[in-house]
Amino acid sequence: MEKRLIVIGGGAAGFFCAVNAARMCPQLEVLLLEKTGKLLSKVKVSGGGRCNVTHAAPDISYMARHYPRGQHFVKKAFGHFFVPDTIDWFAARGVTLKTEADGRMFPVTDNSQTIIDCLLREADQHKVKVMLHQEVAALEPLPGGRWQVRLQQGAPLEADYLCVAAGGYAQAAKFDWLQATGHEVMAPAPSLFTFNVPGHPLTALMGVSVPAAQVKVAGTKLQERGPVLITHWGLSGPAVLRLSAWGARELQGLQYRFTALVNWVPAYHEQSLRDALQELRFSQGGQKMYLRNPFELPQRLWQFLLQQSGVEEETRWADLPAKAQHLLVKNLSGMELAVQGKTTFKEEFVTCGGIALPGINPATMESKIAPNLFFAGEVMDVDGITGGFNFQHAWTSGWIAASSIRSKM
């Protein structure tokens, strides 16, 4: 009798499980359920529509350090399917990936549709049956290790194997149907978001980017260094997004109201910057400060920081008043910004939280509590920072689940 796998979720992890299971087990009927009318929607928008497929990590340990939650879990999982396997898998299907200077990997076409088309072709070739607008209401174990999937609408379905790849949820209540299987759920919290600083004059500089700044959350150990982008609502860019991922739970506890301290010149701290300004007063004395930008900051930002420090437009370095110098040091090395709220980063929302990892075997992605129940992707309490890490977890967990199901047949 033909056996059936039902995959719940039509995102990257669900699709990768479905197409690999169907390819590895031609005798297996694979049915993929998606609650919306769209497949692979996050793949579509990732990387500004280019799809940041993975990250060119030198080794597993390096890769694992980029997951605020689930480091030990992914370290074990990556031993079964890692970045070179992802590259080879897509290459074997005519999709070549390229590596950018920061390690992010994209299809050479710079178009996410390339990845989507590849996965859809694979599903078609291996006869994966896709059902859209199918929201799951409950999972019920049947005798002999089989499962019944009750839908919000329509007749229930039965399966020999289940893979839940339903993504993250913003509200804990959305996990109820999974909690009913006996699994503990870690409460969700947003990850990867930008900082809102409403009403601050800095937002007038929207579009200005600083290649290397340091952002700290006052009163915590949270800090990150990297590119920072000023937006019309506040701060964004890789340093801020990484900070939001590492601080997801802590910042949620602060209700997204905290002071961000920005060092625009992280090669200096307060005292060394004070010394550098003193030196500039002697070496550049006759030059106007507004025209001389000694720290290679974007010119608009440099002039804004001078204005905020009370430096007049005609001021020469030699004539810098002590009070203005003190303020300039503070604004350059530790500008205080009152953050009040967050904004989801484009459509690339990620949540931390989900199925607690002690209940899942990282070598098989199978539940330790309920046999023949597998998990893949963001529905688990694993999340990476921005840069291709979340997709690598999706490919890895999807492939492992498929491979484990094959070994059970």
Q: Contact 14/3 with Cβ under 8 angstroms?
A: no
Burial class of 399 by CB neighbour count within 10 A (0 to 12, 13 to 18, 19+): buried
352 shares a domain with 339: no
Q: Where are the alpha helices (DSSP H) in 83-141?
A: 83-91, 112-125
Residue with tokens 């840069």: 387
153 shares a domain with 199: no
68 shares a domain with 24: yes
Q: Contact 310/169 with Cβ under 8 angstroms?
A: no
Q: pLDDT digit of tens for each residue in the chain (409 aa)?
A: 689 999 999 999 999 999 999 999 999 999 999 999 999 999 999 988 999 999 999 999 999 999 999 999 999 999 999 999 999 999 999 999 999 999 999 999 999 999 999 999 999 999 999 999 999 999 999 999 999 999 999 999 999 999 999 998 888 899 999 999 999 999 999 888 999 999 999 999 999 999 999 999 999 999 999 999 999 999 999 999 999 999 999 999 999 999 999 999 999 999 999 999 999 999 999 999 999 789 999 999 999 999 999 999 999 999 999 999 999 999 999 999 999 999 875 555 678 999 999 999 999 999 999 999 999 999 999 999 989 999 999 999 999 999 999 999 9
235 shares a domain with 176: no
Give which of 9, 291, 316 is closest to 135, Cα–Cα. 9
Burial class of 264 by CB neighbour count within 10 A (0 to 12, 13 to 18, 19+): buried
Report how far residue 110's alpha carbon sits from residue 154's, in angstroms, rounded to the nearest whole number.
Answer: 40
43 shares a domain with 175: yes
Residue with tokens 């009370």: 310
pTM of the model: 0.90
The single-letter code of the amino acid at 279 is E
308 shares a domain with 249: yes
Task: Identify the pLDDT of residue 348.
Answer: 52
250 shares a domain with 379: no
Neighbours of 83 (CB within 10 A): 23
Residue with tokens 């400060």: 289
Give which of 184, 17, 141 is closest to 175, Cα–Cα. 184
Q: Contact 164/9 with Cβ under 8 angstroms?
A: yes
**Structural domains in the chain (count):** 2
Residue 341, phi-psi category: left (phi > 0), alpha (psi -120 to 50), beta (remainder): left
Give which of 378, 33, 116, 385 is closest to 242, Cα–Cα. 385
Report how far residue 105's alpha carbon sits from residue 120's, in angstroms, rounded to the nearest whole number.
Answer: 21
Task: Identify the pLDDT of residue 349.
Answer: 64
Report how far residue 4's alpha carbon sits from residue 340's, in angstroms, rounded to the nearest whole number.
Answer: 49
Task: Identify the pLDDT of residue 346.
Answer: 55
Beta bridge pairs of residue 105:
54, 99
Task: Identify the pLDDT of residue 47.
Answer: 87
* Token code pair at residue 221: 């150990």
Residue with tokens 């098989």: 364
Instruction: Specify the CATH number for the domain of residue 106.
Output: 3.50.50.60
Task: Identify the pLDDT of residue 126.
Answer: 98
Residue after which a domain boundary falls, among 294, 311, 344: 344
22 shares a domain with 165: yes
227 shares a domain with 180: no
Residue after which a domain boundary falls, among 322, 344, 366: 344
Q: Contact 215/239 with Cβ under 8 angstroms?
A: yes
Phi, psi for 250 (deg, rounded to 5): -65, -45
- Nearest-5° Cα angle at 236, 304 to 204: 30
Residue after which a domain boundary falls, among 310, 325, 344: 344
179 shares a domain with 205: no
Task: Identify the pLDDT of residue 169.
Answer: 87
Task: Identify the pLDDT of residue 344.
Answer: 78
101 shares a domain with 209: no
* Token code pair at residue 62: 């390096």
Its domain, for residue 9, covers: 3-190+347-408
173 shares a domain with 54: yes
Q: Contact 195/216 with Cβ under 8 angstroms?
A: no
Report how far residue 311's alpha carbon sits from residue 12's, in angstroms, rounded to the nearest whole number.
Answer: 53
